[in-house]
């Protein structure tokens, strides 16, 4: 058992790519919050690597969304455009 306090976690800057990715999926209705986290992570990977399409990033997240993948991609793409990211 440790007696040290846990490390502090500093939030990412509002203009960072991580914040942009997770903010773009914040309005997607999902079954559980962890699904949104996975979706945000896959969008972040898409923005970082730019290897595959946004559609593939959403599909590979495996998030249990209550809307269709096409509708989710449209919402994410619009949110990214609002933040100045071209997709």
H or E stretch at 54: helix 54-61
Output the pLDDT for position 73: 96
Give a yes or no: residue 13 inside a domain: no
Give a yes or no: residue 1 inside a domain: no
User: Is the pLDDT confidence value at 60 over 90?
Assistant: yes
User: Is the pLDDT confidence value at 29 over 70?
Assistant: yes
Task: Please name every residue paired with 30 in a beta bridge, in sequence order, or none if there are none.
Answer: 65
Reported as a single tens digit per residue, the pLDDT across 31-49 is: 998 999 999 999 999 999 9
Confidence of residue 80 (pLDDT cuts 50, 70, 90): very high
pTM for this structure? 0.83
Give a yes or no: residue 23 inside a domain: no
Give a yes or no: residue 19 inside a domain: no
Confidence of residue 1 (pLDDT cuts 50, 70, 90): low
Half-sphere exposure at residue 40, Cβ-oriented, CA atoms within 13 angstroms:
19
Give a yes or no: residue 65 inside a domain: yes
User: Is the pLDDT confidence value at 2 over 80?
Assistant: no
Per the structure, the complete domain to which residue 73 belongs is given by 28-82
Burial bucket for residue 83 (CB in 10 Å: 0-12, 13-18, 19+): middle
Number of domains composing the chain = 1
Q: Contact at 8 Å (CB) between 38 and 61? A: yes
């Amino acid at each position: 058992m440790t007696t040290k306090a846990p490390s502090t976690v500093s939030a990412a800057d509002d203009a960072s790519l991580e914040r942009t990715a997770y903010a773009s999926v914040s309005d997607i209705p999902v079954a559980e919050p962890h699904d949104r986290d996975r979706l945000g992570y896959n969008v972040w990977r898409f923005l970082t690597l730019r290897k595959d399409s946004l559609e593939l990033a959403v599909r590979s997240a495996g998030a249990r969304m209550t809307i269709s993948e096409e509708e989710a991609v449209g919402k994410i793409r619009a949110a990214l455009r609002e933040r100045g990211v071209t997709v």
